[in-house]
Amino acid sequence: MGWLFVVGIVVFLLGLMVSIALHEIGHLVPAKLFGVKVTQYMVGFGPTMWSRRRGETQYGIKWFPFGGYIRMIGMLPPRPTDDPNKVRSVSTGPWQALIENARDVALEEVEPGDEDRVFYRKPWWQKVIIMAGGPAMNFVLAFVIFAFVIMTFGVPVLKPVVATMTKCVIPYSESLKPGRTCTESDPLTPAVQAGVKVGDRIVSFDGTPVSSWEEATKRIRGHGAGPVVLGVVRDGKPQTLNVTLIAQDRPNVDDPKKIEKNVGFLGVAPTQVMETQGFGYVVGHMVDLTGRAAQSMINLPEKMVGVWNAAFSGEERDPNGPVGVVGAGRIGGEIAASSAPAENKLFAMLSLLAGFNLAIGMFNLIPLLPLDGGHIAGGLWEGIKRAFARVTRRPEPRHVDIAKVLPLTYALAFAMMIMFGLLLYADLVNPLRLG
């Protein structure tokens, strides 16, 4: 393990700590703005590394950078018949006892004069803003990092300029075999036979202008087998080449796991360059990634099955599957230890951190406790109930009692612990790797 690998892990973890700190600030600022008493602001979990008290809030950093929290008083409302400042007896029944104990803990820090500073008494829209502030901060941070990367370094763009050429035609099933190379019996590719050279820029296909590699490859694949006139620019001079395409089974451009049958095959690979983009591209990129992240959250149970198989059956990790903090840190180490130029390393590291922020924001919006989305859902439901009461001229309903779903909360928390433990194990025994 080289020192650059360790540096990459440390850099990623520091970036993660900053992201967590900003997430909690997203909760802290509106909570204080709306008058909720916040007793703790902590980044990380486990034993406290450093802390300092300012006013009524203790600020600190803990040893394990796997999360963070702010502690607000009165997260759960008392029972309807209870005085929030009096000690209550515990009801019978395991689940009811669990709920009542949780209420006691939530109101332990409520001191005389704090009755209007508890979280549960705040208007529903303030609760929503407070709990949505954390994920919103992650989205903003992801957007800012992506904007910096895209508008400063650019994004990889494939150009219709020949970077490499395949010498011979190897059936796709044969090409998957380790060590399979060209033999004398393998025919030359259409590109080699037609005299295509590295550096040729493809400008037309069968008389139709071509301006991008995506357009060129779409036309090549869609043409199938047969003769075609390929227009190229070589050393600044336009030329036409007579090419006879062949039909091949090739991986799908968007999903390499899918194989397309009998598509047109030329035998060239494009040139990849970095091009800076404008603000509109950043917005579209963020919208696209957010949609993919949302879809990934929906497919999370299925993805975790893949993680299980990778951890215990040795199957290949899905590059688009979930990865834990340890796995992401390892990827950060591989980025730093790679032989890529420093600019490319910075691009990859920032993109990794931005993507992790986006994933954190989306995960926290799942409408289940103990995630932020569970509290947001409770606040929205309270707003709907109060609006309905006003319209129907009914008495104002009580605050939504999220304590009633605590059994589900504990079950979800246990499931999350199992999931994070599985990710940790998979990241150690069968980690995702660059490339």
User: Are β-strands 259-265 and 201-205 bridged in parallel, bridged antiparallel, or unpaired?
Assistant: unpaired
Which residues belong to the active site? 24
Which neighbouring-strand residues pair with 199? none
Between CA 130 and CA 13 the distance in angstroms is: 26
Give the 3-state secondary structure of 26-85.
HHHHHHHHCCCCEEEEEEEEEEEEEEEEECCEEEEEEEEEEEEEEEECCCCCCCCCCCCC
Contacts for 348-354 with beta carbons within 8 Å, 24 or more apart?
A: 349/8, 349/11, 349/12, 349/15, 350/145, 350/148, 350/149, 351/145, 351/146, 351/149, 352/12, 352/328, 353/12, 353/15, 353/16, 353/19, 353/145, 354/141, 354/142, 354/145, 354/146, 354/149
The residues, ordered by sequence, that sit 6+ positions from 219 with a Cβ below 8 Å of its Cβ are 205, 206, 208, 210
| CA 118/CA 99 separation, integer angstroms | 18
Tell the burial category of 60 from Cβ atoms under 10 Å away from its Cβ (0-12, 13-18, 19+).
middle
SS3 404: helix
Neighbours of 221 (CB within 10 A): 20
Q: Counting beta carbons within 10 angstroms of the beta carbon of residue 22, is it exposed (0 to 12), middle (13 to 18) or buried (19 or more)?
A: middle
Tokens encoding 412: 């979800």
Q: Is 290 helix (H, G, I), strand (E, B) or coil?
A: helix
Any idea how long the chain is? Answer: 435
The closest alpha carbon to 361, from 38, 151, 143, belongs to 143
Q: What is the DSSP string of 79-133?
A: PTT--TTS--PPPSSHHHHHHHHHHHHHHTT--TT-GGGSGGGS-HHHHHHHHHH
CA 76-77-78 angle, 5° bins: 120
